[in-house]
Chain A
Amino acid sequence: MRGRPELFTSYRRDQAPLNTPAKRAWLGLLLVGLLVFPFSVTAELTALGATALLSAVGAIGLNLVTGYAGQVSLGHAFFLGLGAYTAAVLSGDPDGRSLGFGLDMAIWLPAAGLLPALVGLLIAPVAIRLKGLYLAIVTLGLVFIGEHLFRELTAVTGGPGVGRPAAQLHLLGADLGRRSEILGGYPITREIKLYLIALVVLVVLAVPAKNLARSAVGRAFAAVRDRDLAAEVMGVSLTRHKLIAFTISSFYAGIAGALLPTVTGFIEPGSFNLLLSVQFLAMILIGGVATLSGSLLGAAFVILLPRLVEELPRFLPFVTGESTGGVLTTFQLQTLLYGVLIVVFLIAEPRGLFGIWVRARNYWRAWPFSY
Chain B
Amino acid sequence: MSRAVPEAGGGDIGRAGYRWVVLAAGCFGSGAYAGMQMGLPAIGPALRSHFGLTVAEAGLVFASLALGVGLTVFFWGLAIDRVGERPVQVGGLAGAGIALIGAAVERIALRPMVGEPVFSATMVTVGVFIVLQVVAGDLIGLELRQVGHPWGLEQTEVAGVIVFHSDLAKLAFTATVVALLWLFLRHSRLGLAMRATAASQETALALGVPAGRMFGLAWAISGALAAVAGMLVATGGAGFSQATTLVALKALPAIVLGGLDSVPGALVGGPIIGLAEAYTKTYQDDLFPWAGDNVDQVVPYVVMLVVLLVRPYGLFGTREVERV
Touch between A and B in complex, CB under 8 Å? yes
- Is B305 a contact of A339 with CB atoms below 8 Å? no
**CB of B81 closer than 8 Å to a CB of A:** no
Known: A134-B256, A285-B123, A347-B109. A141 touches B301 (CB 8 A): yes
Interface centre among A282, A324, A328, A346 (most CB of B within 10 A): A346
- Is A274 a contact of B123 with CB atoms below 8 Å? no
- Is A339 a contact of B127 with CB atoms below 8 Å? yes
Known: A132-B60, A137-B304, A332-B137. A346 touches B120 (CB 8 A): yes
Given the complex, which residues of A lie within 8 Å of B312, measured CB to CB?
129-131, 134
Q: What is the bound-complex CA distance between A167 and B314, given in angstroms?
A: 41
Known: A129-B312, A137-B252, A137-B304. A347 touches B260 (CB 8 A): no
Q: What is the bound-complex CA distance between A328 and B293, given in angstroms?
A: 37
Residue of B with least CB distance to A352? B120
**CB of A292 closer than 8 Å to a CB of B:** no
Contact of A347 among B124, B253, B293, B322 (CB under 8 A): B124
Q: What is the bound-complex CA distance between A324 and B138, given in angstroms?
A: 10
Contact of A133 among B57, B127, B129, B301 (CB under 8 A): B57
Given the complex, which residues of B lie within 8 Å of A339, measured CB to CB?
126-134
**CB of B188 closer than 8 Å to a CB of A:** no
Residue of A with least CB distance to B110? A347
Contact of B301 among A126, A144, A328, A338 (CB under 8 A): A144
Given the complex, which residues of A lie within 8 Å of B56, measured CB to CB?
131-134
**CB of B294 closer than 8 Å to a CB of A:** yes
- Smallest distance from the beta carbon of A113 to chain B beta carbons, Å? 25
Count contacts between A and B, CB distance < 8 Å. Answer: 134
- Is B313 a contact of A346 with CB atoms below 8 Å? no
Given the complex, which residues of B lie within 8 Å of A227, measured CB to CB?
324
**CB of B153 closer than 8 Å to a CB of A:** no
- Is B260 a contact of A148 with CB atoms below 8 Å? no
- Is A342 a contact of B57 with CB atoms below 8 Å? no
**CB of A229 closer than 8 Å to a CB of B:** yes
- Is B124 a contact of A346 with CB atoms below 8 Å? yes
Given the complex, which residues of B lie within 8 Å of A130, measured CB to CB?
308, 312
Given the complex, which residues of B lie within 8 Å of A278, measured CB to CB?
126
Given the complex, which residues of B lie within 8 Å of A346, measured CB to CB?
113, 116, 120-121, 123-124, 127
**CB of B275 closer than 8 Å to a CB of A:** no
- Is A126 a contact of B309 with CB atoms below 8 Å? yes
- Is A343 a contact of B128 with CB atoms below 8 Å? yes
Given the complex, which residues of A lie within 8 Å of B298, measured CB to CB?
144-145, 147-148
- Is A229 a contact of B324 with CB atoms below 8 Å? yes
Q: What is the bound-complex CA distance between A66 and B119, given in angstroms?
A: 10
**CB of A152 closer than 8 Å to a CB of B:** yes
- Is A134 a contact of B119 with CB atoms below 8 Å? no
Q: Mark B293-318, 1 if CB is under 8 A from A, else 0.
A: 11101100110110011001110000
Residue of A with least CB distance to B115? A350
**CB of B17 closer than 8 Å to a CB of A:** no
State which residues 111-136 of A face B: CB under 8 Å.
126, 129-134, 136
Q: What is the bound-complex CA distance between A346 and B293, given in angstroms?
A: 40
**CB of B102 closer than 8 Å to a CB of A:** no
Known: A151-B294, A152-B292, A342-B126. A336 touches B131 (CB 8 A): yes
Known: A133-B56, A336-B134. A343 touches B294 (CB 8 A): no
- Is B305 a contact of A281 with CB atoms below 8 Å? no
Residue of B with least CB distance to A233? B324
**A contact residues, range:** 35 or more
Known: A132-B54, A346-B127, A347-B113. A148 touches B60 (CB 8 A): no
- Is A144 a contact of B297 with CB atoms below 8 Å? yes
Q: Mark A47-75, 1 if CB is under 8 A from B, else 0.
A: 00000000000000000001000001000
State which residues 129-157 of B face A: CB under 8 Å.
129-135, 137-138, 142
Q: What is the bound-complex CA distance between A66 and B121, given in angstroms?
A: 15
Q: Mark B27-47, 1 if CB is under 8 A from A, else 0.
A: 000000000000000000000
Q: What is the bound-complex CA distance between A144 and B301, given in angstroms?
A: 8
**CB of A340 closer than 8 Å to a CB of B:** yes
Q: What is the bound-complex CA distance between A338 and B133, given in angstroms?
A: 12
Q: Mark B166-199, 1 if CB is under 8 A from A, else 0.
A: 0000000000000000000000000000000000
Q: What is the bound-complex CA distance between A126 and B302, given in angstroms?
A: 13
**CB of A99 closer than 8 Å to a CB of B:** no
Q: What is the bound-complex CA distance between A134 and B259, given in angstroms?
A: 10
- Is A140 a contact of B252 with CB atoms below 8 Å? yes
Known: A141-B305, A328-B138, A350-B116. 17 other contacts (CB 8 A): A72-B119, A133-B59, A133-B256, A134-B256, A134-B308, A134-B314, A137-B304, A138-B305, A141-B301, A144-B301, A148-B294, A148-B298, A151-B294, A278-B126, A332-B138, A336-B130, A343-B131
Can you list 8 A-B pairs, Cβ within 8 angstroms, ordered by A? A72-B60, A72-B119, A130-B312, A151-B294, A336-B134, A343-B109, A350-B117, A350-B120
- Seen from chain A, the residues whose Cβ lies within 8 Å of a Cβ on chain B are 66, 72, 126, 129-134, 136-138, 140-142, 144-145, 147-148, 151-152, 227, 229-230, 233, 274, 278, 281-282, 285, 289, 324, 328, 332, 335-336, 338-343, 346-347, 350
- Seen from chain B, the residues whose Cβ lies within 8 Å of a Cβ on chain A are 54, 56-60, 109, 112-113, 116-121, 123-124, 126-135, 137-138, 142, 249, 252-253, 256, 260, 291-295, 297-298, 301-302, 304-305, 308-309, 312-314, 320, 322, 324
> Top 4 closest A-B pairs, CB basis?
A339-B130, A141-B301, A342-B127, A152-B292
